[in-house]
Amino acid sequence: MFAIKVHAKKSVRSENFNKTINTVKKFLTEKLVQKFKTISDDSSIEIVSGHSMDDADGDVVIEMVIKKSFIVKSGDFEDRAAIDHYLNNIKNFCEQAKAIDDFRYVPFVLKK
């Protein structure tokens, strides 16, 4: 499971901002083949994918988090090069998170 949370008031969400969010959603579904939920309110948008822990079989659930944050100036959504830079950061992080999330234990005797 991983989540992308964007802290942005509705008043600063431009058309290009919304297009950028939709590009991230498209990347998650097409490239990472992830189902996700989008939660939005007046102050933030959160895109969450992965398995729900509500139906976990075990008695203990361990959740590990890797967090990366960066600040985007509102005006940067009008600059295509700046948007591409931020999207590349997001895509790279999501690909690395998926690789970690997909990791399966291989017994030592089977490793080459």
Q: Mind listing the pLDDT tens digit for each residue in 7-53?
A: 999 998 999 999 999 999 998 888 877 788 899 999 999 988 766 66
DSSP string, 22-86: HHHHHHHHHTS---EEEEE-SSEEEEEES--STT-SSS--------------GGGGG-HHHHHHH
The tally of domains found in the chain comes to 1
**Which are the contacts of 110, defined by CB distance < 8 A and separation ≥ 6?**
none
Residue pair 89/75 in contact (Cβ under 8 Å)? The answer is no
Per the structure, the complete domain to which residue 42 belongs is given by 2-110
CA–CA gap between residue 18 and residue 76 (Å, rounded) = 13
**What is the predicted pLDDT for the residue at 5?**
92
For 73-88, what is each residue's pLDDT tens digit? 888 999 999 999 999 9
Mean pLDDT of 86-101: 87
